[in-house]
Amino acid sequence: MHAPDPHTDPMLPVIARITRRTRELSDVVTFEMEVEGWPGFEPGQFNMLAVFGVGEIPISISGPVSDSSKIIHTIRDVGPVSRALAALEPGAVLGLRGPYGAPWPVKAARGRDVVVVAGGLGLAPVRPILYELMENRDAYGKITLLYGARSPSEILFREELGAWRSRLDMGVEVTVDRAPEDWHGHVGVVTALLRAADFAPANTTAFVCGPEIMIRFAANGLTDLGVAATDIHLSMERNMQCGIGLCGHCQLGPYFLCKDGPVFDWATMKPLMRIKEL
C-alpha cells in the first residue's frame, strides 16, 4: 500500500480496507476505512471510491478532520456503485483516490457566527464542519445547525443530533417534510427555521448542503436576513468520472465542480443556478 502520486498517475487508486461499518438508516451506512499514508483532508473534500468490477463514484468525507487515522464516509445506496459500496462489510477492500476538491472555508469563519443548513444526506458533508466548530468552540460566535429530513425515520446521525442539541452552546433545530402523529417536532422546509435562529447576519458565515432546491431557498433566505452572498457557502453535486478536472462531466458554466468546487459561495453560484439545465 502506498499513497498515490498525483504527478505520475492520478487515476490510480490505493487499496483501502473497511474496518467498521454502521447502519444509519435503511438505505444509509457509514464506514470507517484505513489507508496507509493517508494525508488527511479538509472539511467538504471528497474521495473517489471504487468497488472493483462495479465502478467508482465521488463520496464526501463525513468524519473529523482531527483524526487522520481513519477515513469516514456515509453512503446512501441510490445507484449501482453506491449500492455495492453500502453492501461492503468490514474487512472488504476498495479503491480510493483523493482527497479532492475545494473545502468549506471553516477556519475563515473563526470569530463569526456560523449557521449550518443541511437537508437529507447533506448532513454528512457538513459533519466535519460541526466537529471543527465543537473542537474549537471558543473560536466561534453563535453556532446554529438547521437540519431537514423527509420524515422522522430518515433523520441521519440521530444520536449525534441529540447530543449536539443537548449542548447549551449551540442551537440545533430539526424539521421533517412529512410527519406521523407521534412526531412533535417541526414540520416543514428547513428554510422556515432560519427566521427563528439566533445569529448576527452581518457577522455570519453560512454553510449549506443538500438538494439544489433546498440550497436555493436557504441561500435566498439567508440573503434576505442580511447575510452577504460571499459569506454563504454551498456544496454542489454533478456527475464526476475523474474528480481531477480531466473528464469534463462535472462542468457547471465555467467551473469544473471537482477542482474549482464542490464548495462555492452563493455570489458565484446564484447567477448559474438561475439558468435551467446549465
Partner 1 sequence: MIDAQGLDALIAALASDGREVFGPVRREGAVVYEEISSSDDLPKGWADEQSGGHYRLRQEGDAFFGATLGPQGWKRLLHPPKQVLWRTEGAGEETKIIPEPLDTTRRAFIGARACDLAAIAAQDKVLTEGPYRDPQYAARRANLFIVAVNCTRSAETCFCTSMNTGPKATKGYDIALTELEGGRFLAEAASEAGAAQLAALPSRPATADDEGAAAAGIDRARDQQRRIDTDGLPALLKDRPDHPRWSEVAQRCLNCANCTMVCPTCFCTTVDEVTSLEGPETERVNRWASCFTVDFSHVHGGAVRPGAKSRYRQWMTHKLATWVDQFGEMGCVGCGRCISWCPVGIDITEEAAAIRKGGG
Count of positions on this chain that bind partner 1 (CB under 8 A) = 44
Least CB distance from residue 159 to partner 1, whole Å? 26
Restricting to residues 234-273, name those near partner 1 by CB under 8 A: 237-239, 241-242, 244-249, 251, 253-254, 256, 259
- Closest to partner 1 by CB, 50 vs 234, is 50
User: In the set 108, 163, 213, 278, which binds partner 1 (CB under 8 A)?
Assistant: 278
Least CB distance from residue 121 to partner 1, whole Å? 10
Distance (Å, whole) CA 148 – CA 122: 9
Single out the residue of 189, 264, 191, 25 nearest to residue 121, CA to CA: 25
- Closest to partner 1 by CB, 13 vs 221, is 13
Query: Does the footprint of partner 1 cover residue 53 (CB under 8 A)?
Result: yes
Backbone phi, psi, residue 98, to 5°:
140, -170
Q: Print burial letters for 24-60: b (CB count within 10 Å at least 16), e (below 16).
A: bbeebbbbbbebeebeebbbbbbbbbbbeeeebbbbb
Query: Does the footprint of partner 1 cover residue 21 (CB under 8 A)?
Result: no
Whether the bond between 99 and the residue before it is cis, its omega within 30 degrees of 0, is: yes
Query: Does the footprint of partner 1 cover residue 40 (CB under 8 A)?
Result: no
Query: Does the footprint of partner 1 cover residue 89 (CB under 8 A)?
Result: no
Half-sphere exposure of 158 (CA within 13 A, CB side): 12
Output the nine-digit C-alpha cell for 50.
Answer: 471504487
- Closest to partner 1 by CB, 173 vs 237, is 237
Whether the bond between 262 and the residue before it is cis, its omega within 30 degrees of 0, is: yes
- Residues forming contacts to partner 1 in the complex (CB under 8 A) are 6-15, 17, 50, 52-56, 78-79, 82, 91-93, 95, 237-239, 241-242, 244-249, 251, 253-254, 256, 259, 275-278
